[in-house]
Amino acid sequence: MIVDERRSRILQIAEELGFVSLQRLVSELGASESTVRRDLEFLDSSGHIQRTRGGASYLGDAQSDFDARRSLASREKQWIAKRTAELISEGETVLLDGGTTTLEVARHLTGKTIQVLTNSLPIASLLMNRPEIELIFIGGYVYPKTGVALGELSVDALRKIHAGRLIMSTGGITEEGLFNSNALLVETERQMIRAVDRVTLVADSSKFGQRALSHLCPLSDVDEIVTDDGVSSEWRQRMESAGLRMEIAGGSLVKIAK
């Protein structure tokens, strides 16, 4: 069992039981006590669990509630959303991932004659009465904090579709690639990437240098990043070295060979 799978399993067990002992985790996972201790320390530091004597208590997903997250970096997200919508042409077929930034992108798409596929209930609710937009909803298990459909049913549905572009957000970006805190979300997003010709990542500058529980994909899976002007010159250079094209919302285009 790889690290991400093991830590996801620990969270699942802790969520089901509320509290789980160290010895039970060692038995269930078939891992050494020292390995499980390191996993618990990581999950404690990321806010998923609280270490206690002899085990751990479940605290909940490290993602804050959707409405609360919408207020974070709201000005920057508006810049990013507006610039991203400008990249989308009339008649394009766009796959929209769930998230607060992609929801803002959806607001700026109204008025364009396009086809939108999404697994996000907030995005579907926003666009469902727009006559110029042909909307297709991708179903599955709906994650209660975000209103996003995830898991096996979503992945199966995504295998049957194709879109020109995916617009997706992320929990963190490092030189290793993209990260998110929900293993089911990562599985679904990987299939989204396979279903499109082009991947546009929307992420405010606070996401650079951040990691989360599960590794989603390498930077090579991304075609362009739309971010705000708070991103450091160091991270711009790192993205250039990775061969990525970067749009600085509200500022100039960083032209990078892909």
pLDDT tens for residues 147-159? 899 889 999 999 9
Model pLDDT, residue 60: 56
Model pLDDT, residue 47: 67
Residue 84: pLDDT above 70? Answer: yes
Model pLDDT, residue 1: 66
Query: For 168-196, what is the mean pLDDT?
Result: 92
Regarding beta strands 163-168 and 253-254, do their DSSP bridges make them parallel or antiparallel, or are they unpaired?
A: unpaired
Model pTM score: 0.71
Query: What ranges make up the beta strands (E) of 60-160?
Result: 93-96, 114-118, 133-137, 141-143, 148-150
Q: Please give the mean pLDDT across all residues of the chain.
A: 86
Q: How many CA atoms lie within 13 A of 13 on its CB side?
A: 21
CB 42 within 8 A of CB 177: no
Better-scored residue on pLDDT, 246 or 3? 246
Q: Which two tokens stand for residue 98?
A: 């769930």
Model pLDDT, residue 71: 47
137: left (phi over 0), alpha (psi -120 to 50) or beta: beta
Query: For 15-37, what is the mean pLDDT?
Result: 88
Query: For 71-80, what is the mean pLDDT?
Result: 72
pLDDT tens for residues 188-197? 999 999 999 9
Model pLDDT, residue 181: 79
Q: What is the largest CA-CA distance in the chain?
A: 58
Cross-strand partners of 226: 202, 247
Model pLDDT, residue 252: 44
